[in-house]
Structure 1
Amino acid sequence: MKALVSDSMSEVGVEVLREAGIEVDVNTGLKPEELKSIIGNYEGLLVRSATKVTPELLAAADKLKAIARAGTGVDNIDIPAATEKGVVVMNTPGQNSNAVAELTIGLMLALSRNITQGTSSLKACQWEKKALMGHEVGGKTLGLIGIGNIGALVVRAAQGLRMNVIAYDPFVGNARAEDLGIELLDDLDELLGQADYISLHLPKTDQTAMLINAQRIDKMKDGAYLICAARGGIVDEDALYQALDSGKLAGAALDVFATEPPGACALLECNNFICTPHLGASTHEAQVNVARAAGEQVRDYLLKGQARHALNL
């Protein structure tokens, strides 16, 4: 049995496979044609977000049985094509949830207290104490769109900051909201109109693409803040720029973009916009967790036929 690791990840995942007697090649940064030329040698494939598992790649994967995504999002994997090929696709939900939740809270606080602007101005030898007056989050309303693993951790952290938390998630019931001690709303527009801060915690799908568009931003409170550390393309970046430029929104923070890296993006010109280069899961702890989980998934499927967190079985 052979497995290929085609994206950079912790060595822990490789060790899990090798200890089980599975031969592992680590070959990252391959061009699509290069990957296509060798994929036929492997029964297992471990990826993060850089490798694009396309129908063309899968057509050349004659031996492939399992793909493990070291992370949660699988928009880089063509799941219908994998299913047609008979390849199981698995992800590792929950393994990087704490990292993303912590970054979400960090972005919210950085927006509220002008931390990035204060750092930049002070490094430019300016002392703008009065100009950078901020806001406290305590007593404010945080609206979460999605209360899965990450959203639930954000709830707990926000409650520790004395925030009132409301949520919209059509895929969970009232029992989960009651367990978290929050109010679950049936109408997304109602949440948008109530929240001082809005944070997105949902996957990008055909249904969620451009979910936060100009029409929905118009339904938000004047002076609200928007945070997204979920997936690029859920927020209409042009509409967000207009809202920030006009003052409709007080600020926004993105860890993800529709195109990464974003290049010459108009949002980067806004003083009330802060961003990070898709750092949600970029902690040492999270990367060890997702690599170990992905390695265990491929090991168990290849050797025992056991699939955990399979997305197409």
Structure 2
Amino acid sequence: MIRILVTDGMEQSAIKELRESGFEVVEQFYDAAELGNKLKEFDVLIVRSATKVREAIINEALGGKLKLIIRGGVGVDNIDVAYAESKGIAVRNTPNASSAAVAELALGHMFALARFIHIANVTMREGKWDKKKYEGIELGRKTLGIIGMGRIGRELAIRAKALGMKVLYTRRRGPSEEYNEFEYSTMEELLAASDFVSVHTPFDKNSGTLIGEKELAMMKDGAYLINCSRGKVVSEEALLAALNSGKLSGAGIDVFEEEPTKNIELISHPKVSATPHIGASSIEAQERIGEEIVTIIKGFFN
């Protein structure tokens, strides 16, 4: 029987379908010290963000049954993909399933910051009626710059355009006819022209931080930065400095350099709308992720 280890949780309907299809599914989290040895007993490993599958763990698993690693989500930066594949272990992810959920969270942060929902919610609980402090802005007619025009960026662009926003985008591969309804810009042009900048790129260990002090300085005075991609894409130190100086009016952050984050100064900042990496945490997205994982596994072993 093909054995599947689920370490970070998974939609129960998908687990039920796998079991009914003849697969053995074990739901159990293991820390790094135990995981590699345990993996020898399983054909498939399914992870989300918490489990890191690095070279040392893969080396420990060699000689066992492991044939497939699946990341339930868009990125695979918590898996040493090239190394796993060099050892004959396939790596897959579910890039389509959570795109809409992440895009809607990015938009939610934009609304929260534009209308002070993030901080008014806190001060009202403290018994304050700070009505005069919270004169916000409307998203309509503002410019949104999207860095990384993949599936998530496209979903956000569609929603932003429906709100009457002008949408700029930049991507490593340059402009594409696929995105003709939006305007391509260089990174520098986008940063200078956008009222809101939303980042949707993976973290590249080779190139490092994408948004640091230099890039933040290029942004419009009073602009907003949204990061629902990967924490290390944006320098938290540089972001805090930009918020404290007044360069930025606010930041919406779902991902952090370290998770769970210990950067209390950042998440408690009055100009920050913060969430604990919940981009894909919608009922619909989790159902789609589960369905996509089932399809991957059935296709792989059939």
- What is the TM-score with the length of structure 2 in the denominator? 0.95
Q: Secondary structure at the match of 2:132?
A: coil
Instruction: Describe how 1:186-201 pairs up with structure 2 within 5 A.
Output: 187-201=186-200
* Offset, 1:207: 5.1
- Partner residue, 1:15: 16
CA distance in 1, matches of 2:285, 2:65: 30
Tell me the SS of whatever aligns to 2:45. Answer: strand
Residue 113 of structure 2: aligned partner: 111
What CA distance in whole angstroms lies between the structure 2 residues aligned with 1:6 and 1:261?
Answer: 17
Range with bigger deviation, 248-257 or 201-210: 201-210
Partner of residue 240, structure 1: 239
Residue of structure 1 equivalent to 2:82: 80
For 2:208 and 2:293, locate their aligned partners in 1 and report how far apart those are by CA, in whole Å: 27
Distance in 2 between residues matched to 1:207 and 1:104, nearest whole Å: 26
Instruction: Tell me if the contact between 1:209 and 1:235 (Cα under 8 Å) persists in the aligned partners.
Output: no
The match for 1:158 is: 160
Q: Measure, in 2, the Cα distance between the counterparts of 1:233 and 1:210.
A: 6
Separation (CA, whole Å) in 2 of partners of 1:300 and 1:114: 47
Once residues 40 and 206 of structure 2 are traced to their aligned partners in structure 1, the CA distance between those partners, rounded to angstroms, is 34
SS in 1 for 2:226: strand
Aligned-residue sequence identity (percent) comes to 39
How far is the alpha carbon of 1:17 from its aligned partner? 2.2
Q: How far 1:270 moved relative to its partner?
A: 2.3
| Distance in 1 between residues matched to 2:6 and 2:267, nearest whole Å | 34
Paired with 1:188 and 1:171, the residues of 2 have a C-alpha distance of 12
- Which moves more between the two structures, 193-202 or 285-294? 285-294
Give how far 1:266 is off.
2.5
1:168 to 166, 170, 177: 170
CA distance in 1, matches of 2:228, 2:237: 18
1:112-151: CA deviations, max 9, x gaps? Answer: 0000111111111111111111111111110000111111
Where relative contact order (Cα < 8 A, 6+ residues apart) is larger, the structure is 1
CA contact under 8 A between 1:13 and 1:293: conserved in structure 2?
no
Q: Matched residue of 1:210: which SS? A: coil
- What is the correspondence of 1:1-313 to structure 2 with a 5 Å cutoff? 1-28=2-29, 30-61=30-61, 62-171=64-173, 173-178=175-180, 181-185=181-185, 187-206=186-205, 209-301=208-300, 303-304=301-302
Q: Is the 8 A contact 1:245 1:270 kept in 2?
A: no
The root-mean-square deviation of aligned C-alpha atoms, in Å, is 1.4
Worse-superposed segment, 237-246 or 30-39: 30-39
Aligned 8 A contact 1:95 1:289 in 2: yes
TM value normalised by structure 1: 0.92
Structure-2 separation of matches of 1:156 and 1:172: 19
Displacement of 1:298 in angstroms is 2.0
Structure 2 unaligned blocks of 5 or more: none
CA apart distance, 1:208: 5.5
Is the partner of 1:60 in helix, strand or coil? helix
1:147-170 Cα offsets, whole Å, 9 max, x none, are 111111111111111001111012
> Residue 211 of structure 1 aligns to a residue in which SS?
coil
Give deviations 1:169-223, integer Å, cap 9, x for gaps: 1235430221xx11111x2011100001100111111355311000010011111
CA distance in 1, matches of 2:52, 2:142: 41
- Letter aligned with residue 135 of structure 1: I
CA distance in 1, matches of 2:90, 2:231: 25
Q: Quick one: which amino acid aligns to residue 8 of structure 2? A: D
- Secondary structure, counterpart of 1:152 in structure 2: helix
Q: Residues 6-27 of structure 1: CA distance to partner in whole angstroms, max 9, x if unpaired?
A: 1111123322322321222121
Q: Secondary structure at the match of 1:135?
A: coil
Q: Are the aligned partners of 1:16 and 1:296 in contact in 2 as well (CA < 8 Å)?
A: no
Regions of 4+ moved over 3 Å: none
